[in-house]
Structure 1
Amino acid sequence: MNPALIDPLGRRHTQLRLSLTERCTLRCTYCMPAEGLDWTPNRLLLTTDELERVAALFVGMGVNKVRLTGGEPLARKDAVEVARRIGAMGGVQGLAMTTNGLALEKHLPALDEAGVTQITLSLDTLRDDRFRTLTRRDGLDRVLGAMEAALARGYGVGTGRPLKINVVVLRNEEASGGSVGNDDEVQDLAALALRYPVEVRFIEWMPFAGLGWEKSALVPWTETHARIEDAHGPLAPREDAPDSTSRTFTFARGGPGRVGFIASMSAPFCRGCTRLRVTADGALKVCLFGSAEVSLRDAMREGATDDDLRALVAGAVARKKPAHDGQTISLDALASGANANRSMIAIGG
């Protein structure tokens, strides 16, 4: 294996998050600024061939899992074709997609045939009115329909083709006239894993440019965990992989699914990080919270060879900091550095 993807801390990078588009069909309050974004012109986004070349480059350097993200990846017309090309690459052991689910059901057969081995759905509430408030759009029934369709297609916990549900947890202050959140629904959302073979993952809200992140809205994973145990009984910890972003648990009372907690803010997992990101406009980011970027798009369009690109990637990985782009791991430090970074939707999850 090419040692170029091993950073100074000895972390071997085997996962690539490849964003297909900045655009999204939802306007989630925790992800996109209320005033919207100035979208990157299409001519500056990676083409289908460039996406394939980037994916092949990283796979050749040791990446074995690729996740297609956005924005909403299915908002891009050639998303299935991109998935097909990457799924056919030798060395790709897992091809995942993170989606808001609005268009998933109609594309699901084609994505399955293209080789998508894991689907992650974003679902932050089970209430129609709150879905409209949090996403600024309608569509809860379509997301739930997509979950059912994926299960019927054979995705799910224990199948080797996981189906995960991502929940960003926000503190709900409606009763006091404050912001609308969803932490009062974590028990109901966790109950999906008691009914279906899904992994429901509760994610701490992270600060990014333009989102008005506030410490008071952050719900630490320990609080969410305690609420779920209060409602559903003890949770039994699983043995997670060293590079896992999620602490996962099964229900002691039984159930086909499980729950997970992604504690990016209160208990960062940087030491085990094996992930790299390429934005829709071709910028390599070695750290989600870091503002440093290397433009693979510009290099390709200026005639760079694959050896040139490998050198750029190797150099970026060699500069990767031990944690959160070298920032002190504290809520205040991360929040203060957010405005130097892109908005989350422009990075790609």
Structure 2
Amino acid sequence: MPAEGVELTPNPQLLSQAEIVHLANLFVTSGVNKIRLTGGEPTIRKDIEEICLQLSNLKGLKTLAMTTNGIALARKLPRLKECGLTSINISLDTLVPAKFEFLTRRKGHEKVMNSIDAAIALGYNPVKVNCVVMRGFNDDEICDFVDLTREKPINVRFIEFMPFDGNVWNVKKLVSYSEMFHIVVKKFSDLKRLQDHPTDTAKNFKIDGHCGTVSFITSMTEHFCAGCNRLRLLADGNFKVCLFGPSEVSLRDPLRCGADDQGLREIIGAAVKRKKASHAGMFDIAKTANRPMIHIGG
């Protein structure tokens, strides 16, 4: 969370529930079979349960996932599961409450840990925990995070620190996949690679005797652009075909101006065809104007 806080997008600029479902249906009828609700923070929407219910009923959708900060999740999750939420990612960059408060500028570490346990209790398997590793801040906690997988069906996902506006990115803060891997394998020598799906963004590993798994998301040092099939629709209706690309096209505006589904599909198709073979690399990304991740979502 930036020190100055976040300027919230005015409600009229955000997609309504009906617009979210309408656009989601366009993607699902075009072959998308997984939707992930991210943020900002999806659990603060008052209609999040109804959105989940309507999305989960889309014919052809196989997976409805959510990435959340976990603050309000524990009390909402039973209903969200009833509404068809099939997968959970919880963002947590530190296991130390004081560091958590420094990073997020609020209390709530215990609530996040309770949300992880609540998700496990409700049968989510695995519960994915996303940890962005930053040198000098939480790189000393890597093995503590791995320990979470010992007794619980948790998939800890270590994410390389990525450059976005507002996060004060510096290459010196980047802890590479190679470095993280060696830190883990030094303590957990029986770390074994699992078979990844061709479109996985993560390199996945298992430790003998551990209930959960460990993954590394290597966006900066070993990008996975060749297998990337992800598209992102922002809360304001802008459409991005690459998380790291500045290019956006509005689907909200033509939808509100009366564009029919075929017209919207043509806009989507044209944007997808402009998707580059790979992102520009970490140093060029760092110099490219892009929205802060807190506004992009995820």
TM-score under structure 2 normalisation? 0.98
- The alignment yields a C-alpha RMSD, in angstroms, of 0.9
Q: Paired residue for 1:212? A: 168
* Aligned partner of residue 231 in structure 2, secondary structure: strand
For 1:131, what is the secondary structure of its paired residue? helix
Q: Aligned equivalents of 2:153 and 2:182: distance in 1?
A: 22
Asked whether 1:256 is paired with 2:174, we answer no
Alpha-carbon distance in structure 2 between the residues aligned to 1:285 and 1:114? 27
Q: Which amino acid aligns with 2:284?
A: A
Question: Structure 1 unaligned runs (5+)?
Answer: 1-26, 28-32, 158-162, 173-180
State the match for 1:9 in structure 2.
none
Q: SS at the partner of 1:195?
A: coil
Q: Which has the higher contact order (CA 8 A, sep 6+)?
A: 1
Q: Where do 4+ consecutive residues of structure 1 move more than 6 Å?
A: none
Is 1:42 matched up with 2:6? Answer: no
Percent sequence identity over matched residues? Answer: 48
Q: How does 1:144-183 map to 2 (within 5 A)?
A: 144-157=113-126, 163-172=127-136, 181-183=137-139
Q: 1:34 offset after TM fit, Å?
A: 2.5
Map of 2:187 onto structure 1? 231
**Structure 1 residue 133: deviation in Å?**
1.2
What one-letter code is carried by the residue in structure 2 that aligns with 1:205? F
**Aligned twin of 1:117:** 86
Aligned residues: 298
> Of residues 245, 253, 261 in structure 2, which corresponds to 1:290?
245
Q: Give the corresponding residue for 1:333.
A: 284
Displacement of 1:76 in angstroms is 1.1
Q: Give the letter aligned to residue 200 of structure 2.
A: S
Partner of 2:98: 129
Q: Which residue number corresponds to residue 175 of structure 1?
A: none
**CA apart distance, 1:316:** 0.4
TM-score by length of 1: 0.84
2:151 aligned partner: 195
| One-letter amino acid of the counterpart of residue 335, structure 1 | A
SS for the counterpart of 2:3 is coil
Q: Read off the aligned partner of 2:76 and give its amino acid letter.
A: H
Q: What secondary structure is seen at the aligned counterpart in 2 of 1:342?
A: coil
Aligned partner of 1:281 among 208, 218, 236: 236
1:108 aligns with 2:64: no
Partner Cα separation in structure 2 for residue 37 and residue 137 of structure 1: 14
Q: Deviations over 1:287-344 (max 9, x none)?
A: 00111111000011110001110010001001111011xx2x2x3212111xx11111
Distance of 1:49 and 1:299 partners within structure 2: 15
SS at match of 1:194: coil
Q: Give, in whole Å, the separation in 1 of the partners of 2:118 and 2:195.
A: 29
Q: Which residue pairs with 2:220 in the alignment?
A: 265
**2:258 corresponds to which of 303, 310, 313:** 303
Deviation at 1:54, TM superposition (A): 0.8
Q: Which runs of 5+ in 2 are unaligned?
A: none
Classify the secondary structure of the residue corresponding to 1:164: strand
Corresponding position: 1:92 with 2:61 = yes
